[in-house]
């Protein structure tokens, strides 16, 4: 098992961080947390180092002496260009570059389904399709994946990009029945990224065992991923929530949902592959 004192977890104060910290603490007591703001209720086994991803010196100080990075820090939805540019483009570059300089061997990057959001829901895709981002946010995640490939090929860093669907205790609507991932299952994928000996550069889908999945996650299966969450167990709740939401003539066609319809000015027949 990886030495937890040498694993840095960015974005630890965020939504996913809050959900998975107790699970990671059991696997990796001694984990080093990082964020711009200190997470609440630090466990006795956790330590915290503040770092703003937009500040290269702070990022370099946070990764000093670290072997592996779980990089979840960043702006997590669509936003103005400058916000995305600072936290997700410059911030992500700062993290990869500081990690390379510090000799980091493994990095797990929180990518997103929004890097491929303009694929139609009718189409099943694997990890090797051309990116089709649905937002500036999605573009920043495609950029992070590209950085991952660069640092893997050029510097030998073992990089795992998780194209996360939606993490939570249960899927929130019908779209998310196809892309949901439980906190336990995302921890399983993070563990593969931290420990599997065959990792060089991987894009894995961050999804549980969902009957209506749009994604071929067979590479994750090859690497030992055995998701335990099943979105069908929550179908009644998801359908009840969906009934409260009106139809979205653009978003309902594409995997990225409302991220596709926001700011949309195209003819829907000309969108997506």
Q: Does 78 bind ligand NAD (CB under 6 A)?
A: no
Residue 151 among the catalytic residues: no
Among 29, 37, 233, 273, binds ligand NAD (CB under 6 A): 37
The vertex-105 CA angle with 74 and 206, nearest 5°, equals 45
Cβ 191 to ligand NAD, closest distance in Å?
16
**β-sheet bridge partners, residue 110:** 162
Q: Which listed residue (75, 205, 254, 259) binds ligand NAD by CB under 6 A?
A: 75
Q: What HEC string does the chain produce?
A: CCCHHHEEEECCCCHHHHHHHHHHHHHCCCCEEEECCCCCCCCCCCEEEECCCCCHHHHHHHHCCCCEEEECCCCCCCCCHHHHHHHHHHHHHHHHHHHHHCCCCEEEEEEEHHHCCCCECCCCECCCCCCCCCCHHHHHHHHHHHHHHHHHHHHCCEEEEEEECEECCCCCCHHHHHHEECHHHHHHHHHHHHHCCCCCEEEEEECCCCCCCCECCHHHHHCCCCCCCCHHHHHHHHHHHHHCCCCCCCHHHECCCHHHHCCCCCCHHHCCC
Residues 99 to 158 in contact with ligand NAD, rule: CB under 6 A: 110, 112
110 vs 190, beta carbon nearer ligand NAD: 110
Using rule CB under 6 A, residue 53 touches ligand NAD: yes
Binder among 76, 212, 242, 258 for ligand NAD (CB under 6 A): 76
Q: Considering the rule CB under 6 A, would residue 70 count as an interface residue with ligand NAD? A: no
Q: How far is the CB of 92 from ligand NAD (least distance, A)?
A: 9
- Binding ligand NAD by CB under 6 A: which of 8, 11, 147, 217? 11
42 binds ligand NAD (CB under 6 A): no
Q: Find the catalytic residue in 28, 119, 137, 205.
A: 137
Q: What's the closest the beta carbon of residue 93 comes to ligand NAD, in angstroms?
A: 12
CA dist 15 and 168 (Å) reads 9
Q: How far apart are CA 145 and CA 212, in angstroms?
A: 25
Query: Mask of contacts with ligand NAD, 164-183, x by CB under 6 A?
Result: x-xx----------------
Count of residues near ligand NAD by CB under 6 A: 24
Least distance CB 167 / ligand NAD (angstroms)? 4
CB of 197 to ligand NAD, least distance (A): 25
Asked if 229 interacts with ligand NAD (CB under 6 A), we say no
Question: Which residues are known catalytic residues?
Answer: 137
Residues near ligand NAD (CB under 6 A) are 11, 13-17, 35-37, 52-54, 72-76, 87, 91, 110, 112, 164, 166-167
């Amino acid at each position: 098992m990886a030495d937890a004192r040498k694993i840095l977890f960015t974005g630890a104060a965020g939504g996913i961080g809050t959900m998975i910290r107790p699970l990671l603490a059991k696997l990796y007591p001694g984990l080093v947390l990082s964020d711009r703001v200190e997470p609440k209720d630090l466990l006795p086994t956790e330590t915290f180092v503040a770092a703003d991803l937009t500040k290269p010196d702070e990022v370099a100080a946070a990764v000093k002496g670290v072997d592996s990075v779980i990089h979840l820090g960043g702006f997590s939805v669509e936003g103005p260009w400058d916000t995305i540019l600072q936290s997700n483009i410059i911030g992500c570059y700062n993290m990869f570059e500081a990690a390379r300089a510090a000799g980091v061997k493994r990095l797990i990057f929180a990518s997103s389904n929004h890097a491929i959001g303009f694929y139609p829901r009718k189409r099943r895709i694997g990890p090797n399709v051309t990116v089709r981002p649905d937002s500036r946010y999605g573009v920043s995640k495609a950029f992070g994946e590209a950085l991952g490939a660069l640092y893997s090929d050029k510097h030998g860093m073992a990089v795992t990009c998780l194209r996360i669907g939606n993490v939570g205790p249960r899927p929130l609507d019908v779209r998310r029945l196809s892309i949901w991932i439980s906190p336990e299952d995302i921890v399983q994928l993070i563990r593969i990224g931290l420990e599997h000996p065959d990792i060089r550069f991987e894009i894995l889908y961050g999804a549980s065992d969902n009957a209506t999945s749009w994604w071929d996650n067979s590479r994750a299966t090859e690497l030992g991923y055995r998701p335990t969450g099943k979105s069908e167990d929550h179908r009644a709740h998801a359908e009840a929530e969906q009934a409260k939401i009106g139809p979205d003539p653009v978003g309902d066609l594409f995997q990225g949902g409302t991220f596709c319809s926001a700011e949309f000015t195209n003819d829907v027949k000309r969108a997506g592959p």
